[in-house]
Structure 1
């Protein structure tokens, strides 16, 4: 016998109509937020970033692949990782189907990580992905767009992520930040320790190319990426919602190993 509230079809319809009005209001507010994102001032990028790609060394402008707009997913995959972040992997599982549609609407979608290109390519083959994925080997791009931090920053509490200053990372003697939390579980899944894992962060950044100049237009981090996490959009509409008590997800080829 279910413990959830039950009712008649008429009662369900009445609550659904009420919910529909709230959903429509959320849609309208989302449309307004999208408009405000597009009205943000553009910031010209004069720094010469270099990336390693399948086609060789490339500039930021080259990542546009001949289009005028570029969306970059900052994928957590540091040089010391043995595999990509499970959360980023779950998000990226939804990229392949979108890339071709975006490309035909003057938008290139690509991922960027600090890991060497060879590691990224091997992991992409494992996951069955085909979207563009570039390596930022010197880390400057990731550092400047606030998705990579140094050990010194961690130790001194000098990390600004998601537009706020974080508390100093807790270093535990003999564990180097290890423990039983979600970050520790993800670190272990990436073959590293929690402190090293936590120096790379997820995010997305948008750029536009106009008259030969590249401009930064938008960046989002942490929960600001929720709308890109396709599986969670489905869960939010499932009967029990996200229904989480801890880290439940894996890379999609690892569920059978649980």
Structure 2
């Protein structure tokens, strides 16, 4: 690691003030991406600003047909929330499949979406459910928030404060995980919303998470068989040492069928 100063913010105001004073400061939520990046010397910030203990950025609340999750809420808290499971069990199950116990006890939903790793799980749920990402400045629809590989619409000094999910009729997430990292080689989130079916794919797009509109149209008949016969262009997908684009294209169809079946089982 390069030398840096560590600071911990007690309030959101403290964090915003510190960011305004130091353009080279980097926020740390759970540190599950940042710490490995620092170890590999891929980042050299002047200051690491820890915002993980800002209580105002934590917690889960269910209000009518909406669920609000504070940005610093850890994956294990999302997975274990009884209130959330009563209305949106698929999101609890998604959180329970992230990484390993260490990652789930440290990683946060805000850190995950702000990093927008192309193989992360939460971006798929945000896009499929039509979530709203709130920051200290504004509210952004998920489709405007995620802009590319490791890229978001966040501006310098802007902090994610919460994510709000509309409660759908049904929702489920199915992924084919890398056996070592548990990142998604392919993950598909399917939701039956008031506006119809929505399908989001993570782990495979060349530009990161994306909606699969052909599947959404096919799922006007909401059953696993509606996916049969659909294909996705491998040229739109990524290839790496773990899986090629053709393999991922096939997996997307399989994971989509599994997600629909899981959604119908609830």
Q: Judge same fold: TM > 0.5, yes or no.
A: no
Higher relative contact order (CA 8 A, sep 6+): 1
TM-score under structure 2 length normalisation: 0.31
Q: Which structure is higher in strand share?
A: 2
TM-score under structure 1 length normalisation: 0.32
